[in-house]
Amino acid sequence: MKKILVKEVSSKGHDEWDFDADEALEYIKEATGDGKWLFVNGTFANPTQVTLDDLVEAKEVLLTNALVGGNVN
């Protein structure tokens, strides 16, 4: 089975891991439960709706820190 490269933004820059698809999906669910956001091919993705097939077909899987927006007056 194809290995999935998962990149995760961290305070050190970023980390990268090669996972089997099922391991990648489990890691993504754990990381997003801890507040990370998931992007698949540059598009924000709901981790509860991502499938193994989505990961196998993806060119890029990225986990980032959650962003907070708002107005500063």
At 72, list the tokens: 């500063």
Contacts of 25 (CB under 8 A, 6+ apart): 50, 51, 52, 55
Residue carrying structure tokens 């754990």: 30
pTM over 0.95: no
For 3-54, the pLDDT digits (tens) are 999 999 977 789 999 999 999 999 999 999 988 999 999 999 999 999 999 9
pLDDT of residue 24: 96
pLDDT of residue 73: 66
pLDDT of residue 43: 96
pLDDT of amino acid 66: 84
Domains of the chain from N-terminus onward: 4-65 (3.10.20)
